[in-house]
Amino acid sequence: MTDDAATDEVLPRILYVDDEADLREIVSYGLAQIGGYTVDTAANGAEALSMMAASPPDLVLLDVMMPGMDGPTTLSHMRADPVLAHIPVVFCTARVFGREVEALHAAGALDVVRKPFRLAELARRLRELDLKK
């Protein structure tokens, strides 16, 4: 073990779910480069649930507004599945009004991040989360 505990830390594997392909690419590359995370991506809630069933991530970054299955519905399906129910979820949304944020927390979100976000700030916030919740 080294004197620097952070160097021995195993970073979580993240699943980033967003319907915007360009944003998925930027966020996955940025979190890997800036934060050292392993990031998988999904284009929608149904794809994310399928990927999680095959290989559950340590954390899900979930867009709120997506066509088909939106983020809150995806989270609802996760919480109903005993294999996925424990996975922490951080919502990413441009809608950060009080009631919406409260509703996302009430649904089980660990955190809510406002879009657009800076990748360095997102990586820092993710590192500060207590993923044991």
Query: Can you give the pLDDT at residue 98?
Result: 74
> How far, in whole angstroms, is CA 21 from its chain's centroid?
16
Residue 16, pLDDT > 80, answer yes
The total of structural domains in the chain comes to: 1
Whether residue 9 lies inside any domain: the answer is no
Q: Which tens digit of pLDDT belongs to each residue from 76-100?
A: 999 999 999 999 999 999 877 778 8
- CATH number, domain of 39, equals 3.40.50.2300
Taking the complete model, does pTM exceed 0.75, yes or no? yes
SS3 string, 45-97, reads: HHHHHHHHHHCCCCEEEEECCCCCCCHHHHHHHHHHCCCCCCCCEEEEECCCC
The rounded distance, in Å, linking the Cα atoms of 84 and 98 is 27
Q: At 88, phi and psi to the nearest 5?
A: -70, 145
Whether residue 84 lies inside any domain: the answer is yes
Whether residue 133 lies inside any domain: the answer is no
User: Residue 88 belongs to what domain range?
Assistant: 14-128
Supply 55's token pair: 């290989």
